[in-house]
Amino acid sequence: MTKMYDGMQQEFKEVDFRLDNLRNRLDDLEARNAERHLDLRRSIDNLRSDMTRWRQTLLITGRI
């Protein structure tokens, strides 16, 4: 019975190790996605700013 218990303990340790690795990978993925999200948000804000400037330029020059 002790061998069976030791075997189960070893399997539980392996599962815990794999779950920890999975959690770390998930944290890394969330961090990368957060950076991508911020990059996309900045790009959208920059495009919006460019469009506003172009529109103002067209209004000032009378092209609209």
User: What are the average pLDDT values for consecutive 10-residue runs of the chain, which has 64 residues?
Assistant: 79 90 88 87 92 89 75
* pLDDT value of residue 1: 57
* pLDDT value of residue 47: 94
* pLDDT value of residue 35: 87
> Which amino acid makes up residue 14?
E
Taking CA atoms, 1 is separated from 9, 10, 11, in Å, by 12, 14, 15
d(CA 64, CA 48): 18
The predicted model scores a pTM of 0.54
Any idea what the Cα angle at residue 13 is, between residues 12 and 15, rounded to 5°?
Answer: 65
* pLDDT value of residue 43: 94
CA 29 to chain centre: 5
